Amino acid sequence: MQEGSLEQAHVHAPPQGFIRKYIFSLDHKVIGKQYYALALVAVFTGMILSWLMRIHMVWPEAKLPFLEWFSKNGAPGGIITPEYYLSLLTMHGTLMVFFVLTNAPFAAFGNYFLPIQIGAEDMAFPRFNMMSFWTTFLAWVVLMLAFVIPDGPPIAGWTAYAPLSAVGRDAGPGMQWGASLWGLSIAIFCVGSLLGALNFIATTLDLRAKGMTLMRMPLSSWAWFITSCIALLAFAVLLPACILLILDRHAGTSFYIPAGLVISDRLQPHSGGSPLLWQHLFWFFGHPEVYIAILPSMGIVSHILVNSMRKPLLSARVVIYSMMSIGFLSYMVWGHHMFLSGMNPMSALAFSFPTLTITIPATVLTLMWLGSLYGAKIQINSASLFALGFISMFVSGGVSGFFLAQPSIDIYLHATYFVVGHFHMVMGVASLFGVFAGTYFWFPKMTGRMMNESLGKLHFWLTFVGTYCIFMPFHYLGLIGNVRRYQSFVDDFMAPYLGWHKFMTIAALITGASQFIFLFNLIYSRFKGKPAPENPWNATSLEWSIPSPPPWNNFGAKHPIVYHDPYQYGVKGSKGDFVMQDSPEQVVSASGD
Amino acid sequence: MSSTTLSSISSQAGALSKTRHVTAQNVLMAQRSERYSSSGIWVGVFAITMSFAAFTSALFVREGTGDWTHLALPQVLYLNTLLLLASSGTLEIARHRLSKEEGTRKASGWVLVTLLLGLAFCVGQSRAWLDLRAQGVFLATNPNSSFFYLLTFLHALHVCIGVAVLVYLAGRLLASHTTFRLGLFRNTVVYWHFMTVLWVYLLLLCRMKL
Amino acid sequence: MGKLLAIVLVLIAVLSAYPIVSHMFVLPQDISTHGHAIDEQISETMVEAGISFIGAQLVLAFFVWSFSGRKDDRPLKNFPGGARALVIAAFLLVGTEILALGVMGQKAWASVYFTPAKPDDIQVQAQAEQFAFYFRYPGPDGKFGGIHPEKIDEGNQNYFGLDPANDVEARDDIVSGELVVPVDREVHLLMHAKDVGHSFYVRELRIQQDFMPGLDLSVHFTATKLGKYEIVCTQLCGLGHYNMKAYLNVVSQPDFDKWLKDQAGQ
């Protein structure tokens, strides 16, 4: 007698009820949209924080009355205090790096499209998936609580170096409960990310449709897969780092706090800890984290570029191997954030070499994109504009890395605006361009409606020119020695350059305001956009073979079978110059062979 | 790794998930149902390993400073080790029983023994902590004790998660009218053995370093 | 619109390069012995970064101009040499660049960190605290007194926690809020953090080094020009971080000796 039968994984019935459908949904598509919504809230919050910082810096006398209402301690009389400036800075960095750049390109789009692109019905572990979003959401709530407590958010930066972050209130305002909330939030975030990464990896390895070999996966799926491998390792190290920090702060341990520190006239009751340990653990996570931020955008941009060029990349395989190399190398370079930290100067050279070496796969990627554009038929639309803009931004942001990778130059440029310009261009702009491109490209599939093209193009131009205006000057200012994380410049040294700061601030305000065009377009088009066909871009990958928006189980009753590589463009297909991955027709090249 | 190796590994993994089912009906159901994920648990094991590797490197860094001392490990730890090793053994027996057609009831017995041994392990670990507390050695007393409490507590926490899942699985085994989640069971076996291996590693680390 | 993008790309490349090429932003004067190696490194890198940046933007612009908005049926073309040529180009170009920069840069780094201290260098200890720098000279006995954190008393200006009553070597130590050094003499700066992490940065000296609580770190430098230069903190240390500065005062040797005597007299 058959006692019990094999469980049927993933054969869950269509969701019923509002809560199951929209709140605690197991559907990867809903979860993807939830991540996207969270990232949207976080990015606008982070943007407003940066506005406040920049306004305070160039117009320190300016009174912002609403801010006084928001935080009496932080902005008495509407003027931001030095410590509140640092609070805004800390929250800006934390929100942007964690809740925007890890969420949007990776968790949001990856959750929505990875299963579909590989022909799966859902992720491998839908319940873990739901938990991963709500855990991330909880992390966000905990972080935002820091704004409402009286002492305010922490002032140690998103990098939270010990001992400043570890000793508690003696170190400064916001460093008691604010810092504790920060540490707790990040620890919770780690758990959510680990669950997410696990899902991505298991899904990619085990749930591909028939005929979907790894090499037939679209480049966006490859990017999500590689990113999830990086994320698994990175967050698995950040979590212990946060646990040790929480223990130092609340349990009297001394992992990070050495003996003999006198802070606020109090001899701290700790001994033997190593602040350098925090830096090592944090940057072992922190460097791969920035590749977590950029790799999905590389994949998304590659995916979109191919479609808009109507021609495959010169070699998708080379792109895949380059992304893998970047992922691998990302684990060998963390010390380049610590050249001047007091670690052994020999190790600085050891870290510098792989850092410079990452230039090789990054250059290969750039040459693949550029080289593939040669002889193509580029279709210009909002998505492709952002994809092309990504290439420009990635190069701009990347070349400043040549400087910072060399320890001798880092002696001069470390902690200056040069560094801030570098990471904002690659993370804050290039990575976000990938998100914008993905949004314009996939919005029709996700909602069944097209976004407004004119608004999209306007958004592109304002953002493209605007971000160059904001972030290029950061590099120049860094070259003359403009130090970062200063709430104002009280010395004669910086006086000749305040004009540039004003320029950057005005550019930031205008560019930031332009993002509301995007937000409006998103919301308006969701309800009033032109109805979208199943395949508005004449694209080849599996997501374009299903209805817009897709049904709850993606492919309906039938499971897709994959016959081709993902980028059969420029060929004689039954529907045009392309052949879809799940189409059994033979691929006939345009020249007829 | 070449693409062929990667794809053959993953298809082998998929194939493994199919060939373990011995009854004809099971095989049929496997072909019709969605392939479930067999790699997930290994990914999870890897992540947990990395976290403990991070703690290990923290230990090595911390060892270098002047206030490092010596911690005498409570003797009960060795008994707890035996309990955990035994529990891996009993779980293996359960797994073996389940892979045969008959013996589901017997298997449930072995699962119950496993989880009881796991619970006994956790109780034994708390005994170790109480022993230390009785000597005035607490979490923040010195760096050695900090690492000891931290590592053993986190490990015990993970064991408790395993125990909770085993309780759930035992329940489903005993209630024979519900479908038994063989996939979850196999994943739990991997996890449980990993807990044992991890504990042996932690014990050696504590012995040699603390 | 592709053509517009191409034009904008060219404009961006030109406008971004202009401030650099026209020397609108010049590094502050170099007053150190090792700085020229760093400045040379920066120039070299600027050339390579500049070529890469401008080259990539122009190529992108050119390709977007040429290959977008094509209404005709011209066949698709592949880049000559295909992927292989580009991969080889990437390896060769970047490989040589890395070697050049890496090898050269190593020398500059070594001159700061791997050159042994000169025998007649001047020892000064810097203490970084929230939110000031203090400097201590060993005095005529040439020895620094011990630091006792529990004895630190800001109100009585005992910043370092010295114990002159019981510690002979501490009695003649000179504490100053300004780092006074003689020109053309090597200075060995011992770095001590009182509370949290800080950093010592003098742009003109091309020196930057973190203070790490719990670690004994040091840097050495030789200042080659008289004058007063800003020392700023570059490691986020709390609410006063933006205001944490001191001055490096490079004086002649006789002036330095006189200053030490005056300080010792007090």
Three-class DSSP category at A589: strand
**Residue of chain B whose Cα is closest to the Cα of A231:** B47
Amino acid at A265: D
Q: What local confidence, expressed as pLDDT, does residue B65 receive?
A: 83
Q: Is residue C165 domain-shared with residue C232, that is, in the same domain?
A: yes
Q: Could you give the percent of chain A with pLDDT greater than 70?
A: 97
Parts of chain B belonging to CATH 1.20.120.80 = 39-209
Instruction: Give the whole-angstrom CA distance, residue C89 versus residue C91.
Output: 5
Q: Is residue A4 over pLDDT 80?
A: no
Within-domain flag for C74? no
Tokens describing residue C64: 């977007």
Position with higher pLDDT, A586 vs C5: C5
Interface check for C200 against chain A (CB to CB < 8 A): the answer is no
The model's pLDDT over A528-544, given as tens digits with 9 standing for 90+, comes to 999 999 999 999 999 99
Chain C 163-192, residues with CB within 8 Å of chain A CB atoms? none
Amino acid at A282: F
Confidence of residue B8 (pLDDT cuts 50, 70, 90): very low
Q: How far apart are the CA of B158 and the nearest CA of chain A, in angstroms?
A: 14
Confidence of residue C209 (pLDDT cuts 50, 70, 90): very high
Q: How far apart are the CA of A504 and the nearest CA of chain B, in angstroms?
A: 41
Instruction: Give the whole-angstrom CA distance, residue B54 versus residue A235.
Output: 11
Contact A174, A87 (CB under 8 A): yes
* DSSP per-residue letters across C37-86: HHHHHHHHHHHHHHHHHHHHHHHHHHHHHHHBS--S-PPP---TTHHHHH
Instruction: Give the whole-angstrom CA distance, residue A357 versus residue B47.
Output: 27
Chain C neighbors of A368, CB-CB under 8 A: 83, 86
Three-class DSSP category at A554: coil
Within-domain flag for C134? yes
Q: Is residue B31 over pLDDT 60?
A: no
Three-class DSSP category at C134: strand
Contact A45, A88 (CB under 8 A): no
* DSSP per-residue letters across A22-47: IIS---HHHHHHHHHHHHHHHHHHHH
* DSSP per-residue letters across A138-158: HHHHHHHHHHHSTT-S-SSTT
What pTM did the predictor assign?
A: 0.93
Q: What does the pLDDT average to over C36-61?
A: 94
The model's pLDDT over A138-150, given as tens digits with 9 standing for 90+, comes to 999 999 999 999 8
* DSSP per-residue letters across A337-369: G-TTTTS-HHHHHHHHHHHHHTHHHHHHHHHHH
Q: Is residue A58 over pLDDT 90?
A: yes
Instruction: Give the whole-angstrom CA distance, residue B209 versus residue B123.
Output: 24
Confidence of residue B38 (pLDDT cuts 50, 70, 90): confident
Number of domains in chain C: 2
In this structure, the strands spanning C179-182 and C245-251 are: parallel
Interface check for A272 against chain B (CB to CB < 8 A): the answer is yes
Chain B neighbors of A325, CB-CB under 8 A: none
Question: Which domains, and CATH codes, for chain A?
Answer: 27-258 (1.20.210.10), 288-531 (1.20.210.10)
Confidence of residue A591 (pLDDT cuts 50, 70, 90): low
The model's pLDDT over A169-207, given as tens digits with 9 standing for 90+, comes to 999 999 999 999 999 999 999 999 999 999 999 999 999
Partner residue facing A483 (CB), from C42, C154, C201: C201
Q: In this complex, which chains have at least 3 CB pairs below 8 Å with chain A?
A: B, C
Q: Are the beta carbons of A124 and B36 separated by less than 8 Å?
A: yes
Within-domain flag for C89? yes
Q: Are the beta carbons of A232 and B61 separated by less than 8 Å?
A: no
Length of chain C measured in residues: 266
Instruction: Give the whole-angstrom CA distance, residue B104 versus residue A4.
Output: 9
Q: Are the beta carbons of B34 and A208 separated by less than 8 Å?
A: no
Contact A511, A472 (CB under 8 A): no
Q: Is residue C103 domain-shared with residue C189, that is, in the same domain?
A: no
Instruction: Give the whole-angstrom CA distance, residue A261 versus residue C152.
Output: 10
Q: What is the complex's ipTM, to 2 decimals?
A: 0.95
Largest CA distance in chain B: 66
Interface check for B1 against chain A (CB to CB < 8 A): the answer is no
Chain B neighbors of A274, CB-CB under 8 A: 61-62, 64-65
Closest CA to A364 of A421, A321, A307, A407: A321
Confidence of residue A573 (pLDDT cuts 50, 70, 90): confident
Q: Is residue C189 domain-shared with residue C213, that is, in the same domain?
A: yes
Selected for mutation to probe chain B from A2, A5, A6 (highest B CB count within 10 Å) is A6
Contact A53, A92 (CB under 8 A): yes
**Residue of chain C whose Cα is closest to the Cα of A318:** C83
Residue A509 neighbours by CB under 8 Å, 6+ apart: A51, A54, A55
Instruction: Give the whole-angstrom CA distance, residue A389 versus residue A374.
Output: 16
Tokens describing residue A559: 């499971």
Chain A neighbors of C240, CB-CB under 8 A: 82
Average pLDDT, chain C: 92
Position with higher pLDDT, B61 vs B10: B61
Strand partners, A178: none
Position with higher pLDDT, B109 vs C253: C253
Contact A39, A104 (CB under 8 A): yes
Q: What local confidence, expressed as pLDDT, does residue B104 receive?
A: 67
Q: What does the pLDDT average to over A157-161?
A: 97
Q: What local confidence, expressed as pLDDT, does residue B27 receive?
A: 38
Instruction: Give the whole-angstrom CA distance, residue A254 versus residue A274.
Output: 8
Q: Are the beta carbons of A8 and B29 separated by less than 8 Å?
A: yes
Instruction: Find the distance separating the first CA and the last CA of chain A, reported in whole Å.
Output: 59
Q: Which domain holds residue C108?
A: 2-69+80-113
Instruction: Give the whole-angstrom CA distance, residue C129 versus residue C161.
Output: 13
Instruction: Give the whole-angstrom CA distance, residue B52 versus residue B33.
Output: 36
Contact C217, C210 (CB under 8 A): yes
The model's pLDDT over A460-497, given as tens digits with 9 standing for 90+, comes to 999 999 999 999 999 999 999 999 999 998 878 899 99
Environment class of C10 (CB within 10 Å of its CB; exposed 0-12, middle 13-18, buried 19+): middle
Q: What does the pLDDT average to over B185-204?
A: 96
Q: What local confidence, expressed as pLDDT, does residue B103 receive?
A: 55
Closest CA to C51 of C92, C105, C93: C93
Return the CATH number at C212.
Answer: 2.60.40.420
* Number of Cα atoms under 13 Å in the Cβ half of residue A167: 31
- What CATH number labels B39-209? 1.20.120.80
Q: What are the DSSP E strand ranges found in chain B?
A: none
Per-residue DSSP letter, C248: E
Tokens describing residue A432: 């976000």
Instruction: Give the whole-angstrom CA distance, residue C131 versus residue C237.
Output: 8
Residue A21 neighbours by CB under 8 Å, 6+ apart: A15, A30
Instruction: Give the whole-angstrom CA distance, residue C82 versus residue A317.
Output: 13
Indicate the helix (H) or strand (E) that contains A514: helix A498-528
Instruction: Give the whole-angstrom CA distance, residue A321 versus residue A317.
Output: 6
Within-domain flag for C75? no
Q: Is residue C253 domain-shared with residue C126, that is, in the same domain?
A: yes
Strand partners, C250: C181, C227
Q: Is residue C29 domain-shared with residue C127, that is, in the same domain?
A: no
Q: What local confidence, expressed as pLDDT, does residue B177 receive?
A: 61
Q: What local confidence, expressed as pLDDT, does residue B12 receive?
A: 44
Contact A305, A539 (CB under 8 A): no
Q: Is residue B162 over pLDDT 90?
A: yes
Q: Is residue A120 over pLDDT 60?
A: yes
Q: What does the pLDDT average to over B26-51?
A: 71
Q: Is residue C162 domain-shared with residue C34, that is, in the same domain?
A: no
Q: Is residue A394 over pLDDT 70?
A: yes
Neighbouring CB atoms inside 10 A of A340's CB total: 25
Indicate the helix (H) or strand (E) that contains A234: helix A219-250
Q: What local confidence, expressed as pLDDT, does residue B105 receive?
A: 67
Strand order of the sheet with strand C217-222?
A: C174-176, C132-137, C122-129, C186-193, C217-222
Tokens describing residue A549: 């928006």
